[in-house]
Amino acid sequence: MKNRFQTTAENILDHARWAPSGDNMQTWRFEIVDTHCFIVHGYDTRDHCVYDLEGHASQLAIGALLESIAIAASAFKCRAEFQLDENALETKPTINVQLIEDKNIEQDPLFLYLPKRSVQRRMLKTTPLSLKDKSKLEQSVGNFYNIKWIEGWRARLQAAFLMYKNGRLRLILPEAFPTHSTIIEWNSRFSDDKIPDQAVGLDMVAMRMMRWAMKSWKRVSFLNTFLAGTLLPRIELDLLPGIACAAHFSLVAEKEPRTMEDYLNAGRAVQRFWLTSTMLGLQLQPEMTPLIFSGYIKNKVEFTKTQKIHDYAVDLSKVFKRLMGGEAVIDKAVFVGRIGYGKPAKARSLRLSLEQLEYKR
Ligand SMILES: Cc1cc2nc3c(=O)[nH]c(=O)nc-3n(C[C@H](O)[C@H](O)[C@H](O)COP(=O)(O)O)c2cc1C
């Protein structure tokens, strides 16, 4: 593998930084200790992001980063060993990484897909997944996770309607506005640290409406009250893509995740699943918010001051539970999304450079 940087650590991190994170927040910074040792300084966004109030979304992303490091290390004839710093704050997962050289290590076939893997938020083909592809995807997550598939027209339609209703929750929730109004880079096909508007999945008219609305909560509220403002985005972002895919899926852990380590490991499995789907020519979009809000309801996490919205989320969590196959499944679910054959997205999030990701005390 070509060395762009002086240290093996930097060369590996340069590939691993393509790991996915909620809203492309890249909740990590890197401290190089020496050529074969570095520290991942992770953090969560619970202080400002309503989708991360327990830190789990960030922990999954950091787990995906660790798996990316392990995969990238194989291309540099190294094995990565991870040590979670037990004294670190819960909001700041800190992981010491040691790279052990090993001439016999073969490059992981997923390595080439690290920078290619990306979200596709637009409609996909409805062609069912082949048995071969399903089996490869099921194998990719290892022994401690299962995939629950939601397939067939009827089930996809149910999932799409759930996402459509869930879209309303996201758009009428005042607590989500600070996130929605800051994560989109307007008039862009690419963005280093946000989501470019062209990757969101809206057409020009809906996009203009959203751009106008996102200037203030007053505007969003006006649109929602008088012009059925949530309708068009929900049809384009949730309903149609929810129908137009091969399947929805849920990654279900063997045991209910409880600790930070459980979520980091789950993130590792997510990344293997996502990279494998890219290798198989499949496109994927996470659909995490029903799972996130169901978790809040279950754990009594206060995510809104508006009682009506809370009650709406309670109703949605019941529908979600039914769709997923009951409480036993939902408690162990760590990741939800849709998947299907189709072209990769033309617009996508990029990443901060290694220099920009350097840890500063
Ligand atoms: C834990 C996690 C949750 C995510 N949730 C969603 C989601 O609910 N909807 C969505 O469209 N994308 C979701 N994403 C995808 C991110 O927005 C995406 O990975 C990020 O913007 C970087 O873009 P890329 O994956 O195309 O490189 C999620 C990603 C992660 C890691």
CB atoms within 10 A of CB 298: 13
Average pLDDT, the chain: 96
Q: Whose CA is nearest to atom 19 of ligand 1?
A: 20
What pLDDT score was predicted for residue 26? 98
Q: How far apart are CA 51 and CA 171, in angstroms?
A: 13
For range 298-322, the mean pLDDT: 97
| Alpha carbon separation from 284 to 117, 145, 301, 303 (Å, rounded) | 9, 18, 29, 27
CATH class assigned to 8-116: alpha beta
Q: Whose CA is nearest to atom 1 of ligand 1?
A: 57
Tell me which of 17, 27, 46, 119 to substitute to probe ligand 1's pocket, judged by most ligand atoms within 8 Å of the beta carbon.
Answer: 119
Its pTM stands at 0.97
Supply 242's token pair: 């929810």
Q: Which residue has the tokens 């048995």?
A: 131
34 - beta bridge partners? Answer: 37
131-348 domain in CATH 3.40.109?
A: yes
| 205: confidence class by pLDDT, cuts 50, 70, 90 | confident
pLDDT tens column, 78-96: 999 999 999 999 999 999 9
**Among 9-13, 104-108, 231-235, 329-333, where is mean pLDDT lowest?**
231-235
For range 254-279, the mean pLDDT: 98
For range 265-271, the mean pLDDT: 98
Give the residue, 67 or 214, on which the prediction is more confident.
67
What pLDDT score was predicted for residue 221? 85
For range 234-249, the mean pLDDT: 96
pLDDT tens column, 130-153: 999 999 999 999 999 999 999 999
What pLDDT score was predicted for residue 226? 67
What pLDDT score was predicted for residue 227? 65
For range 98-105, the mean pLDDT: 97
Pairing of strands 37-42, 94-101: antiparallel
Whether the pLDDT of residue 321 is over 80: the answer is yes
CB 60 near ligand 1, within 6 Å: yes
CB 179 near ligand 1, within 6 Å: no
73 CA to centre of ligand 1 in angstroms: 24
What pLDDT score was predicted for residue 56? 98
CB 118 near ligand 1, within 6 Å: yes
Asked if 48 and 38 count as a contact pair (C-beta separation under 8 A), the reply is no
Q: Is the dihedral of CA 185, 189, 195, 201 positive or negative?
A: positive
What pLDDT score was predicted for residue 262? 98
For range 101-122, the mean pLDDT: 98
pLDDT tens column, 3-19: 888 899 999 999 999 99
In percent, how much of the chain has pLDDT > 90?
90
What pLDDT score was predicted for residue 3? 85
Tell me which of 17, 21, 183, 334 to substitute to probe ligand 1's pocket, judged by most ligand atoms within 8 Å of the beta carbon.
Answer: 21
| 224: confidence class by pLDDT, cuts 50, 70, 90 | confident
Q: Which residue has the tokens 């309801």?
A: 297
Q: How far apart are CA 308 and CA 311, in angstroms?
A: 5
For range 269-296, the mean pLDDT: 98
Q: Whose CA is nearest to atom 12 of ligand 1?
A: 286
Q: Where in the chain is the domain with CATH 3.40.109.10?
A: 8-116
Q: How far apart are CA 361 and CA 356, in angstroms?
A: 14
CB 196 near ligand 1, within 6 Å: no
